[in-house]
Structure 1
Amino acid sequence: MGRIKKKGTSGSAKNFITRTRAVKKLQISLPDFRRLCIFKGIYPREPRNKKKVSKSATPSTTFYYTKDIQYLFHEPLLNKFREHKSVAKKIGRALGRGEVGDASRLEKTLMPKITLDHIIKERYPTFVDALRDLDDALSMLFLFSNLPSTSAVPSKTIALCQRLCLEFEHYLIVSHSLRKSFLSIKGIYYQATIQGQDILWLVPYKFVQRVTGDIDFRIMGTFVEFYTTLLGFVNFRLYTSVGLVYPPKFSSSSDERGGELGAFTLEGRGVGPSQPAIEDSSAANSEKVQTITSSAAQAEADKIAALTAPEGETDDSAALVAGNEDENNDALDTFEVTAQDADILPQPQAGSAETSTLFASFTFYLSRETPRQPLEFLLKAFGCKRVGWDTVLGDGAFTNDESNPAITHQVVDRPALPLESLPALPDPSTSAQSTDGEVKPVALWPRATVPGRTYVQPQWVWDCINQAKLLRPDLYAPGATLPPHLSPWVKAKKGQYDPSIPLAEQEPEGEAEQFEDEEEIEAEGQDDEEMGSDAEKAVPKRNGKRNGMDALLDRSGEVEAGEGMDIAGTESDFSSEEEEEEVGEDWDGIHSEAASEIDEAEAARLQHQRELEAEAAGISVETLETNTPKSKAAEARKKAAKKRREEEEEKERLKMMLPQRKRKLFERMEYSNQKKDKEAELLRKKKRKVDKAKSVGRSSA
């Protein structure tokens, strides 16, 4: 007979442990346990059956893996936490005795310093692992860099987050690793590709943040402490990979004046004078990356170049290089759809070398109502050499003069207003003067525009980046209705509504005619209602009295309890009702006879008109009727309806041949597809109504 196992010593009861037992085993406080779990990446687990794990478990009980808790027993941070606790007790005793000097001395000398370097190396064995886990870190640090300084969020933490985020942005500018960006309600999304890894993070808008008391900043502060260490390691590795010295030089005076990116100066390792970050360009960056290399790597490259190739291969290699250059100059191939119902193939996009120099030949000026920080970052990340802005936006601009002739594009976010509503211009004598003593021409938007300069709204920058090409600036002119700003990560599937494609290309056959018919029916219904209301007003009231039902109907159908229901009708009431019915029948008959006479006269008039038109055109009446636009539309609708009916019949025949299980699965798929088609049809109807309203507005104007 086998040995009887004791309950709770094997299976899921052994694999899981409650948080209370884990804290007791580790002999630390609950806040330290939470902090340690965040650092080590250990999270609560949910067992399949809580009763099997623990009889006393409640819905709020938190479980962990037993192996994870055993893994924490050998963590060096446990000793740091215990030392911190003992020093805190000594400081408390000193303060209780009034020995403030001894307490400060104990805090400076005995308080242990916690470092997370070993945890970073342990959790991320390779650099690619750290890049994969960088999304949440960047989102958290960019969030804290925009928070105001409070007791829960000290200013040192905010300054550290700002510095690390700006250093990471400088690497993206130098390496041209940024790919896409999107303006959403939550903030601005950015996507970068670093060493083959796509990193997506969210940056909040520069609004005044109100910190509420229902947020536990202790837990968030623990995450920030870990993420700052992680991003510091990542920035060091990224900077050294392109030959830049880390950390870059930081100018506190420029940062106080709002320099942000311009407060940093990037320099190479042991080469030439340092170059300020605000003067980075695509050409300068490429030269800098080529010149800033280690001596060992350069020696290896010289050895490889010194190797002599065989004589027969030199000509072939030269021809191969020339052929490669010709291939690189060719345009990108496009995949065209051959069949009507075939899937849309993804088209090849422009390479990073082309998109990185998208704005290289332009000089931008940012008006003071535009968001300077994201625009400066995006423009420089895609090759813009010089970006200027107004002095109120901060330090580090290429120029603060809006009338500078080198400016090719100006980003504005307010329409052109009439000059009468604008304040007067400043005195020309107080404006900036040139070295010759002449007053510079001042061109301030929206009072005046500079000839040859392109004025666009900020969305133009984002849409050009997402589509990897320069779009038409007239569609983004100041005051113009902007095109839809779509997410670059959501691709419209077949059958769904795509606002970037013309409506005629994505609507099914016969849908536009059906929409026109519905509009005509609605218009006729409205005309009939108006005619009916006019007829009701024209009906005379007998003896100036109206019955109770008419009065109730005039109150929009609101009938109170007991109203018009409990009173029995007398003989006179019945007789009056019978008279009204007789009169109503007489009036109905007269109305129907008159209506029939009018219809016959109208039909005869229309027939005579058609005969005259056919005689003038020299064709028969039947040919004229078939060539009218309405008849053509009706014929198109009939063909579309016939085609749909045939397709449905064919689909039903195929369904009958399927087994019951597959038929039910097909019906569920068909139901979901029909639901999506109805949503797309509703969006297309809205689009048609908007287009029709715009066309009516243009015609009336």
Structure 2
Amino acid sequence: MAGRSKKKGTSGAARNYITRTRAVKKLQISLPDFRRLCIFKGIYPREPRNKKKVSKGSTAATTFYYTKDIQYLLHEPLLAKFREHKSVAKKIGRALGRGEAGDAARLEKNLMPKVKLDHIIKERYPTFVDALRDLDDALSMLFLFANLPSSEHIPAKTIALCQRLTREFEHYVITSHSLRKSFLSIKGIYYQATIQGQDILWLVPYRFVQRSGGDIDFRIMGTFVEFYTTLLGFVNYRLYTSVGLVYPPKFSAKSDEQGGELAAFQLEGKGTATNSASNAHDENAEIDPEAQAIADRIAAMPDVEEEEETMDLVLATEDDEEEATEGIDKFEPTAPDADILPQPQASSAEVASLFAPHTFYLSRETPRASLEFILKAFGCKRVGWDGILGDGAFTTNESDPAITHQIVDRPALSNGAPAPDVPETTNGGAAAPKIQWPHSTMPGRTYVQPQWVWDCINQGKLLRPDLYSPGADLPPHLSPWVKPKKGEYDPNLPLEAQQPDGEAEAFEDDGDEEDATFDVDGDEDMDAINDREDSVEAGEGMHVGDSEDEDSDDSESDAGPAAEELDGFESDAESDISEGEAARLQHQRELEAEATGKKLEVANPSRKEQNAAIRKKFDKKKRLEEEERDRQKMMLSNKKRKLLKRIEYGENKRDTESENLRRKRAKLEKAKAAAEAL
């Protein structure tokens, strides 16, 4: 008995997906509200495996969603807020149409519903760790909007809110010493912090003049900002209370107007907090007793100098065995070709006190906001800068004797002093006397470029400041998240340690050949080359002959490449014989010299001959390895041989890129050595 036939489009993939048009009609809201609701709830379009089955044979471009997701949105409380907002907007439009501006303002103030996303945050992030894992995009977006200028699309209130939330988060990172790495890239500055075991990476743009294009949909971005500000507010509150701090911290509007930024916020502990309306959230919060004990212990920690004295006393009383157990082991490779094992990172106490003993002064040309954040996150409590950069500096006096390091980003003169500023002209056109910067170099102070700070925190130690002195050629600034693999080019290693056998000699010969190719004697050679090119263009030597002589010439020309190949084999054989004959003759000369008692004169080979011998030996070794590899390939199956071919393609591409980089570096080092010789 045959079963009942099912109607097409009522089961399977056609039932699991729904088009956006049908979803909007089912929810009875407008398309902008639907987009906004999907962003809040984390519902995104889906791509079916077979669009023709889902769309009942249609091939038109259509956006699909999961039917269960749209069914889930039917019970969302925000739908009622959207419909209420729509009805109030109609009343306001009617009032404005009648010219009743006062009634319209009253309706907007009293009846316009306020959308709260608290319940959505709790739904999407059941645990606090889930919120931390999803914090990367939120921080990048909010730091971007915090640096944008206000416009008709971006209100100043939104920018101020993003600035407040991001600076509160930076204060927590500074207090908890959670920052681990940072990198200066073309897009901006990357930061990575480890908070409660979760690595959080975000991007902060440089403070240039931002010009937003007209092809950006700020409504979509504004919806994300609205969600992310609510999320970061919850996260900041939880982070502050976990270390025993009052949230929100005290904010000084006067200091913020004067460019204080981080200095505009004053952190307070729970013990010193006053019961005010601004701290209403903290009064009802549940504090973890273990976290509060840790916060009290951190608050009771002595200053840096007292801490160093106590640490000296503790270390003096410990035994040698206990001191040995506190050190961090280093994993050394057992063989020269072995893999490099990841080394253990420094402890949190060492990271927190990297810049603690020093006092920094930031020159006017340096990025003050990023440097202040990084220095304070790694233990520095005294950071000063010029008063023109804003409020909140430890000192604005550049000649303060307490300053140990000054960060500058200006070129230096040939005698080692920093370069002077551009001379100013008076009204009469005459040049005013040049003002050198700084007026005098302070003795005992270390002058470094800003990259020194980033490289120090990425490597977890204070690097040599002379490599980063003003005007010096800086070491390569590499990403701390990308580790060089075996066989790839590594800018940190010397060139000799990365070159395989025979490559250095090949680079030297290439340089000699390039010099020889550019050595053209006079204009006559160039004219001859041009004449030869013109003759080829005219078709010279392209005629086909009919005589026997021409046929014989053509046959000889056709046999040319084969003859050349045979000549090549003969030359190799002759070279082998000549080498054996040369060794025999050399031995004969040694015997004759020993018999007659004369001293044998040995001719020293030239540098070019030595390079040719080394390169020939390397090529022979490489050829033997390739032949052995080809023999091993013959034993593989067709499938494995194709897989090996793809692997070799990637390796050859990597090796070619590495060789090109090494070649460029060899040329630069050669040019630098020649310039220093002059």
Residue from 488, 505, 520 that aligns with 2:497: 505
Per-residue deviation, residues 165-217 of structure 1 (Å, max 9, x unmatched):
00000000000000111111111111111111111111000011112222111
Match for residue 489 of structure 1? 481
Preserved CA contact (<8 Å) 2:356 2:378: yes
Q: How many residues align?
A: 579
- Give the partner amino acid of 1:647: E
* Candidates 372, 379, 384, aligned match of 1:383: 379
Summarize deviations over 1:211-245 as a string: whole Å, max 9, x none.
22221111100000000000000000000011000
Structural mapping, 1:414-563, within 5 Å? 414-417=410-413, 445-527=437-519, 530-531=520-521, 533=522, 536=525, 553=530, 557=534
Question: Per the alignment, do residues 510 and 224 of structure 1 end up closer, same or farther by CA in structure 2, a change over 3 Å counting?
Answer: same
- Distance in 2 between the 1:206 and 1:420 partners? 25
| 1:668, distance to aligned residue in structure 2 (A) | 2.0
| Match of residue 361, structure 2, among 362, 365, 369 | 365
Matched, 1:326 2:306: no
> Within the alignment, does 1:646 sit opposite 2:624 as a pair?
yes
DSSP 3-state at the match of 1:624? coil
What is aligned with 1:429?
Answer: none
1:459-501 per-residue CA deviation (whole Å, 9 max, x = no partner) reads 1111111111111111111111111111111111100000011
Residue number in structure 1 paired with 2:19: 18
Deviation at 1:634, TM superposition (A): 4.0
Match of 2:224 in 1: 223
Q: Which amino acid aligns with 2:458?
A: N
From 620, 626, 651, the equivalent of 2:600 is 620
Aligned mates of 2:196, 2:654 — CA distance in 1: 38
Asked whether 1:346 is paired with 2:323, we answer: no
SS at match of 1:395: coil
Question: Bigger CA drift: 62-71 or 86-95?
Answer: 86-95
Residue 309 of structure 1 corresponds to none
Give the counterpart letter for 1:219 in structure 2. I
Percent of paired sites with the same residue? 71
Distance in 2, matches of 1:361 and 1:333, equals: 25
Structure 1 pair 4/470, CA: closer, same or farther in 2 (3 Å)? same
1:656 Cα offset (Å): 2.2
C-alpha displacement at 1:665, in angstroms? Answer: 1.5
Whether contact under 8 Å (2:253, 2:264) holds in the other structure is: yes
Deviation for aligned residue 1:676: 1.0
Alpha-carbon distance in structure 2 between the residues aligned to 1:392 and 1:559? 70
TM-superposed CA distance for 1:394, in Å, is 0.5
Matched residue SS, 1:201: strand
Q: Determine the structure 1 residue equivalent to 2:117.
A: 116
2:14 and 2:56 in contact (8 A); partners too: no
Matched with 1:658 is: 636
Q: Contact conserved, 1:240 with 1:246, CA < 8 A, in 2?
A: yes
Which digits, 9 at most, give the CA deviation of each residue in 1:151-175, with x for residues without a partner?
1100000000000000000000000
| 3-state SS of 1:198 partner | strand
Contact 1:363 1:408 (C-alpha < 8 Å) held by counterparts: yes
Using the alignment, how far apart are the partners of 2:448 and 2:420 within structure 1? 23
Identify if the C-alpha distance between structure 1 residues 135 and 111 changes in structure 2 by more than 3 Å, giving closer, same or farther. Answer: same
Q: Identify the residue that residue 205 of structure 1 maps to in structure 2.
A: 206
Check conservation: 2:407, 2:450, Cα contact below 8 A. yes
Q: 1:223 to 1:298 in 2, by over 3 A?
A: closer
Q: How far has the Cα of 1:3 moved from its partner?
A: 1.6
Instruction: Give secondary structure in 2 for the equivalent of 1:373.
Output: helix
What TM-score do the two structures reach when normalised by structure 1? 0.77
Q: In 1, are the aligned partners of 2:420 and 2:437 still within 8 Å (CA)?
A: no
Structure 2 regions of 5+ residues with no counterpart?
276-286, 298-317, 425-434, 542-592
Q: 1:195/1:100 Cα in 2 relative to 1: closer, same or farther (>3 Å)?
A: same
Q: Distance in 2 between matches of 1:139 and 1:388?
A: 28
Q: Which amino acid aligns with 2:676?
A: R
Most deviating of 628-637 and 77-86: 628-637
- Counterpart residue identity of residue 38, structure 1: I
2:663 maps to 685
Say which SS state the counterpart of residue 270 (structure 2) adopts.
coil
Contact 1:416 1:446 (8 Å CA) reproduced: no
| Alignment partner of 2:649 out of 671, 684, 699 | 671
1:412–1:458 contact (8 Å) kept in structure 2: yes
Using the alignment, how far apart are the partners of 1:421 and 1:76 within structure 2?
63
Give the counterpart letter for 1:326 in structure 2.
E
CA distance in 2, matches of 1:71, 1:634: 75
1:598 — aligned with what? none
The match for 1:315 is none
Q: How far did residue 35 of structure 1 move?
A: 0.4
Give the whole-Å Cα distance in 2 for the aligned partners of 1:76 and 1:91: 23
Alpha-carbon spacing, 1:558–1:463, altered in 2? closer, same or farther (3 Å): farther
Q: What TM-score does the superposition give when structure 2 sets the normalisation length? A: 0.80
Task: Determine the structure 2 residue equivalent to 1:587.
Answer: none
1:687 offset after TM fit, Å?
A: 0.3
Instruction: Note if contact 1:510-1:637 (Cα within 8 Å) is conserved in structure 2.
Output: yes
C-alpha deviation, 1:343, in angstroms:
2.2
- Partner SS state of residue 376, structure 1: helix
- Per-residue Cα deviation, 1:557-592 (whole angstroms, up to 9, x for no partner): 5999x9999xxxxxxxxxxxxxxxxxxxxxxxxxxx
1:245–1:267 contact (8 Å) kept in structure 2: yes
CA distance in 1, matches of 2:54, 2:412: 70
CA separation of 1:44/1:536 partners in 2, compared to 1, >3 Å: closer, same or farther? closer
Q: Is the CA contact 1:335–1:347 (under 8 Å) kept in the aligned structure 2?
A: yes
TM-superposed deviation, 1:667 = 2.1
Contact 2:419 2:437 in 1 (8 A): no
The separation in 2 between residues aligned to 1:675 and 1:90, in whole angstroms, is 67
Give the conservation status (yes or no) of the 8 Å contact 1:390–1:401: yes
Alignment partner, residue 397 of structure 1: 393
User: Are the structure 2 counterparts of residues 555 and 412 from structure 1 closer, same or farther at C-alpha, using a change threshold of 3 Å?
Assistant: farther
Letter in 1 for 2:404: T
Q: What letter matches 2:604 in structure 1? A: E
Task: Give the letter for the 2:600 counterpart.
Answer: S
Q: Do the aligned partners of residues 493 and 557 (structure 1) sit closer, same or farther apart at CA in structure 2, a change above 3 Å counting?
A: farther
Match of 2:87 in 1: 86
